[in-house]
Amino acid sequence: MKIAICDDERTAIDILKDTLQKETEKTGAESAPFQTAGAMEIREFQGGEALLGVLRQGEGFDLILLDIDMPDADGIELGVQCRALLKSADTLLIYVSNRADRVFDSFKAQPFRFIPKSEIREKWPRVWQDVLEEKNRQNRTIIIRTAGITEKYRVDEILYVESFGKKQLLHTTRGDINLSSSLGKLMDSLPEEDFMQIHKSYVVNLGAIRRIDHMDAVLDDGTVLMIGRSHQAEARQRFLNYALKHQL
């Protein structure tokens, strides 16, 4: 796992690095399939411009730990800039700061977690487990077979399924796929914790939903899917549970 620590205080960087290494030693052997044991690389940046510099050069990270108060950068705006430069949306951003008054401001940078500096050693073991679980979730795949082609897709690449009786249209981030299969058979191949049927014609990836608006599910790409009356209560509850679990 490639990790960036960005803080203007040398002491804070050393504490974070030490905490990371100790926790990884304890959990690395149990973190499959996202292996971290013996494969963790930590880069240190004493200022926002140094971090932005390597991101502009195309370097990526699995996890970025950011302070908020730094002389050369406001950590919130820095996080937003990092998001714009990162090639992968899978990068997790965690704020480690004593500026609890800016927790809500930090949402602009889509952070995975916010940890008070004074509680880093206490909070990190649980956060680290959450990081590993999220990374494992990001890397789960399913196999799609169509027209003689067998192809692997990550779960988060599949947005939703549109049903037309015995034919299904699979909408993915790579494009649409026509499948000759029953909806029930297709649903059996999709992880139940991530997908749910919201209408007789739609099965949606909960992670692709931006919000539920009255009788519609609005996806991150702007697609609007109608929620059937009999599915509305369950859809709202499952979306809420999913969002809380994954900090959407």
pLDDT of residue 103: 92
Mean pLDDT of 98-120: 92
Q: What is the pLDDT of residues 60-102, one digit of tens each?
A: 999 999 999 998 889 999 999 999 999 777 899 999 999 999 9
Q: How far apart are the first and last CA of the chain?
A: 22
Pull the structure tokens for residue 126.
């649980």
Q: What is the pTM of this model?
A: 0.68
Strand ranges in the chain using DSSP code E only, listed in sequence order: 2-6, 41-45, 63-66, 69-70, 73-74, 92-96, 113-115, 141-146, 149-154, 158-164, 167-172, 175-180, 195-199, 202-205, 209-213, 216-219, 224-226
Give CA angle at 245 (84, 141), nearest 5°.
70
Percent of the chain's residues with pLDDT above 70: 94
Tell me what the pLDDT averaged over the chain comes to: 89
pLDDT of residue 27: 61
Residue 113 has pLDDT above 90, yes or no: yes
Work out the number of other CB atoms within 10 angstroms of the CB of residue 110: 15
Q: How far apart are CA 18 and CA 37, in angstroms?
A: 15
In 3D space, the residue among 161, 27, 43 whose CA is nearest the CA of residue 91 turns out to be 43
Amino acid identity, residue 121? R
Q: How far apart are CA 223 and CA 209, in angstroms?
A: 9
Q: How far apart are CA 102 and CA 78, in angstroms?
A: 14
Domains of the chain: 2-138 (3.40.50.2300), 142-246 (2.40.50.1020)
